[in-house]
Structure 1
Amino acid sequence: MDLDLQRRRRRAVLAGLTAAVLMGTAACGGSDDGGGGSADGLPKTIKLVSVNPTTGVVAFAGNAANQGYQLAIQEINDSDLLEGSQLELELVDTRSEPQTAAQEATTAIADSEVAAIFGSVSSNEAIAMSPLLQQRGLPVIYTQAGSDGVVVGDYTWRATPLMSSYYPILSRYVEEQGFSSLGVLYTSATPTLQEVGSETVPQMAEDLGIEITASIDIPATTQDYSAPISQVLESEPDAVVALLVGAANVTVMQQLRQAGYTGPVLGNSGASAGNLVPAGADGADMVWPVDFNFQQTAESSQAFVEAYRAEYGEDPLNYAAEAYDAAWFLARSIAAAGSADREAIKDAMVTQAEETFDGALGEGLSWEDGTIVVPGVVVRWTGEGEELLYEGTGEA
């Protein structure tokens, strides 16, 4: 009973604080109601759908995102943001299949009661969804899906910064470690990691004046990385970059150690979510940039962390933080529109995106071309947990 009371109390306090901050931010752009009029046009219930993988290869991200959406919607419904209207969230599983994602998007489009949706964390699924949603005029906010072809118009949004935009904050770590060369392994399983491996990392190396000794594009179907690891290590780099998806990070870390490599490994946010736990000591010293870590110091981030812990009894992952901010952005847009009409919500999203805001991902957040902009943080896996090394500043 005490835990339940504490959970409700924390949620209520955070909801009040967050609503006050976010409503105040929205009001800065003009009239007290954010330029969208009153909420008289809002129905009693506003239906939203999360179209996300809850089974399959990226289910760990889809499930975490859904928890972020659910927490935010509880707080929004407990607040006065929508003046008595309630958000209702339906969860559907894409099974990590682009065809299923497209089918679910089509189903949502056909349901006139659906005001907007939250799109898949998978780039491949998002690319299958976006043309349909843009053409038929259903607002969607994605998280994670970081490739081209996701944000294709003003109905499509992404509450995750492009990995290529914040990955270079690893430059500080590379310089501090005194690396003069990097060997790169990257998977073609996702467009995001392919871009970071083939373009972002080489550009970072060029900017730092260091050498790329080897760069190997690993086919998506690869399960044994020993051969490409041998090729990279034969080039004798000071450090290895390994850009893989989810559990594949465990395999590559174990095989790197088995091959005799003992140094740090530069990874990506796919190593988050506790994915390195099965690697044991072999996983230690993988370092990566990410848009959120539960240890970051922004007041709005820590308020989210406290509420998430109270609700779920665990630390939030970046996928949950992104979803939380996406839900609040959508709710502010609906409030500003004063309507559950899809076009009105779309127009309000465009206006809301002109304002900065504080959220789970940090303070002074903004939007650029439909995608959120976040400085990011750098973390290291110690073998037992994530250690926050430093936070980005937002400076170029």
Structure 2
Amino acid sequence: MSYSLKTAASALALLAALATTASAEPAKSIRIGLVTTLTGPPAVLGQHTRDGFQLAIKQLGGKIAGIPAEVLVVDDELKPEVGIQRVQQLIERDKVDAIVGIVFSNILMATARRMVDGQTVFIGTNAGPSPIAGTRCSPYLFSAAYQNDQNAEAMGRHATQKGYRKIVVVAPNYQAGKDVAAGFKREYKGEIVDEIFVPLTQPDFSSDLAKIVAAKADAAFVFMPGGLGVTFVKQWRQAGITLPMLSAHTIDETNLPALQDAAVGTSGVTNWSPALEVPASRSFVEAFTAEYKYTPANYAAHAYDAATWLNAAVTALKGEIADRTKLIDALRKAKFESVRGRFEIGPNQFPIQDYYLVAVKKREDGSFATEIESKIVEGLPDAYGKDCKMPF
């Protein structure tokens, strides 16, 4: 689905009308819709998202730019039709000033048009589908996370540097899975001997594991988010597979408590880890762990940054957010202390950032954590910014 010139022209005309009538006074309150997944095995990802955003709001005294903030948390249930309904309600019934969140790319693909048509600013905290970063980009759509391909591109570079000549790719059969596979293939210079795509809710991987072994590859590149990763990695270990597992979004702080020893020795790539030596990151991890009694993953870090980013933009506007064009411009220009250290956005409003190789280690106290082994790439832009043509 693409946005027509007629649609863009209509939006611009309506924006101009709104701008002439919008109040130049600071808002008395700010309502933010937080859309995330809180149902089923992926709920842990949504929990990190919700908790990261709400921690930032709490640290800001329950306010954005000194204005009382109300956060409306809604569950998309990992169902596109439910996501559409929830977003529509936030825009039309609840009159939110902005929407943040969305874990899964199929939900963002389904709801993006509603936010653009409703002229509601969105800051994504995980999902980064390629069409939204490219041909379907919009001034209303920002990302505080990444574009789906980017982690996989970094791992493709690493796999090439390691000298792996043959690799099998495994991913769920939905937008993010296809993007991740494409990102890996874009940077990996060896041979892809097989690509295995599975349903997003698959419980049994025995036949897929047999295919991986039969492929006779040097390593496997695996993308299995959340609970799917727990099931896959446990079955991988039970099958006794010794092939190196290179992962993206498969093993992190969301599922380490469930995987524990099964995760040790796996390599992954990320734009943020609790082990990152950045002052803002150390403070965030300490505060998050104290507040929620568990270690944050990058889902939480992205959401925390989204709140800090929004606060910086609204502060620059002195709370005058009724004119959406000014809010968009303020978000584009905003400077804030990111938990990642380096943070900037490209022409499609997706981050340009660093990516790291991490490995799961068992600490002396018996706990498990991802530890940074090296920086793979610095300041990586995504591959789709060149296809983005912003109407304003």
Please indicate the TM-score interval, normalised by the length of the shorter structure. Answer: 0.7 to 0.9
Per the TM alignment, residue 325 of structure 1 is displaced from its structure 2 partner at its CA by 0.9
Per the TM alignment, residue 319 of structure 1 is displaced from its structure 2 partner at its CA by 0.7
TM-score (norm 2): 0.80
Letter of the structure 2 residue corresponding to residue 359 of structure 1: S
Aligned to 2:326: 347
Per the TM alignment, residue 143 of structure 1 is displaced from its structure 2 partner at its CA by 1.3
Superposition pairs for residues 246-325 of structure 1, below 5 Å? 246-325=226-305
Per the TM alignment, residue 322 of structure 1 is displaced from its structure 2 partner at its CA by 0.3
Residue aligned with 2:97, SS: strand
Measured in 2, the distance between the counterparts of 1:100 and 1:135 equals: 18
Aligned to 2:40: 56
Aligned to 2:29: 45
Letter of the structure 2 residue corresponding to residue 314 of structure 1: Y
Query: Any stretches of 5+ residues in structure 2 without a counterpart?
Result: 1-22, 363-367, 381-392
Measured in 1, the distance between the counterparts of 2:122 and 2:334 equals: 19
Residue aligned with 2:283, SS: helix
Measured in 2, the distance between the counterparts of 1:137 and 1:272 equals: 35
Aligned to 1:120: 102
Q: How many residues align?
A: 350
Residue aligned with 1:362, SS: coil
TM-score (norm 1): 0.79
Query: Any stretches of 5+ residues in structure 1 without a counterpart?
Result: 1-38
Per the TM alignment, residue 221 of structure 1 is displaced from its structure 2 partner at its CA by 4.9
Measured in 2, the distance between the counterparts of 1:221 and 1:307 equals: 33
Residues 245 and 165 from structure 1, CA distance in 2 versus in 1: closer, same or farther, beyond 3 angstroms?
closer
CA RMSD between the two structures: 2.6
Per the TM alignment, residue 280 of structure 1 is displaced from its structure 2 partner at its CA by 4.5
Measured in 1, the distance between the counterparts of 2:73 and 2:346 equals: 26
Measured in 2, the distance between the counterparts of 1:78 and 1:250 equals: 35
Letter of the structure 1 residue corresponding to residue 287 of structure 2: A
Aligned to 1:9: none
Q: Which string of whole-angstrom CA distances, capped at 9 and with x for unpartnered residues, describes residues 286-335 of structure 1?
A: 21112211100122222222222332233221111101111121122222
Per the TM alignment, residue 75 of structure 1 is displaced from its structure 2 partner at its CA by 2.3
Q: Which string of whole-angstrom CA distances, capped at 9 and with x for unpartnered residues, describes residues 134-179 of structure 1?
A: 0121111121112134463111212111131233333564356442
Aligned to 1:222: 202
Q: Which string of whole-angstrom CA distances, capped at 9 and with x for unpartnered residues, describes residues 163-222 of structure 1?
A: 31233333564356442221222220x31122222x22222222xxx2222222224453
Aligned to 1:203: 186
Measured in 1, the distance between the counterparts of 2:272 and 2:155 equals: 15
Q: Which string of whole-angstrom CA distances, capped at 9 and with x for unpartnered residues, describes residues 229-269 of structure 1?
A: 22222221111112223222233223333444213201122
Superposition pairs for residues 156-167 of structure 1, below 5 Å? 156-167=141-152
Deviates more, 1:240-249 or 1:354-363: 354-363
Superposition pairs for residues 1-396 of structure 1, below 5 Å? 41-77=25-61, 82=65, 84-111=66-93, 113-150=95-132, 152-171=137-156, 173-174=158-159, 177-188=162-173, 190-197=174-181, 199-206=182-189, 210-339=190-319, 341-342=321-322, 344-354=323-333, 357-382=336-361, 384-395=368-379
Per the TM alignment, residue 275 of structure 1 is displaced from its structure 2 partner at its CA by 1.5
Measured in 1, the distance between the counterparts of 2:313 and 2:93 equals: 20
Measured in 1, the distance between the counterparts of 2:74 and 2:343 equals: 32
Deviates more, 1:87-96 or 1:111-120: 111-120
